[in-house]
Amino acid sequence: AKMARFDLIGAGVLLAPDESGRLAVNSPPMEGSSAQKQGLHKGELVTEINGRSTKGMTAFDVIEMVMPDTSKTMTMKLQDAATQEARVVQLDRATAEVRDPVSYKLLDKTGYIRLAEFNALGPQKVRDAVADLEAQGAERYIMDLRMNPGGTFQTALGIAGTFVPERTAVFVVDGKGERTEFKTSGKPLTSDPLIILADRGSASASEVLAGALQDNCRAVLVGDRTFGKGLIQGVFGLESGGGVALTVARYETPSGRDINKVGIAPDIKANLLPVFVGVSDVGEDTWDEAVRLEAAKVATSKLCE
């Protein structure tokens, strides 16, 4: 399997806690990456990132710390698990290669935001879009997640935080049935009415975001039932430089719904217009359809009544 799509910090290395809970290099560095050039090897402990201790950190914590940082380089303090010998390396990051997943425009005081995938740039790009649309006078929003297959879990939490204060976004349930709560991150930029457009192609992180906003009474879900991919896969590195993805847990929405193979039902069932690749072809008919459904007129305070 190609490993690059799982590298969320852009340095060519995958990190995960070892059997003792210490953050470690999870697989051999990717071919030609900065991590490979610096000689990182599987099993090496990562004790600091950018001068900050990683004690008690999970891979999710590292992603949340590093993703908003657009620096071209990062530092890691490494420790050999056997000899305890420590060293500090500087790694070049290649996050500039990640494509911008967001396109948007203003339609009759409605901010239309199309999110194509959930990658490392997603949270900041959505925040930038909302900030710009607010400045242009947006009074309501449509976020289009149709045919969005998902992406990174942490991106969904960051985007949810653009619209709701710190709330439960999702529960992760492991094979033993133990539940871990994850909350939204970031500060809300708007309290204006919000519609989520979804369909059978909206999966994984799209469902995490839709479920978080729907269960927190923040958005009206319009369209079709979502795909129903509610399993979490862990990536385990192989000596060959490849990897294997195994199911390690599942998602539950804030209200406790298991979405796997079931999906999330829309608040308003609708046969929507074909999905748009970008926003250049989005016309007034997109908003007219939403208005016809009256979804945008639903007061957020009454969504859960």
d(CA 198, CA 226): 6
204 catalytically annotated? yes
Q: Are 264 and 257 in contact (CB under 8 A)?
A: yes
| Helices 153-160 and 59-66, packing angle to 10 deg | 50
Catalytic residue among 7, 144, 199, 215: 215
> Which amino acid, 48?
E
Q: Catalytic site residue 71?
A: no
> Does 215 qualify as catalytic in the annotation?
yes
3-state secondary structure of 17: strand
Instruction: Please list, in sequence order, all residues whose beta carbon lies within 8 angstroms of the beta carbon of residue 12, skipping any fewer than 6 positions away.
Output: 4, 29, 30, 32, 33, 34, 35, 36, 91, 94
The residue from 229, 240, 285, 302 that is catalytic is 229
Which of 33, 103, 204, 206 is flagged as catalytic?
Answer: 204
Kindly provide the residue ranges of all beta strands, DSSP E only, lying in the chain, ordered along the sequence.
Answer: 15-17, 23-25, 45-49, 52-53, 73-79, 86-92, 102-107, 110-115, 140-144, 168-174, 179-183, 194-198, 220-223, 231-237, 243-252, 268-269
Q: Could you list the active site residues?
A: 204, 215, 229
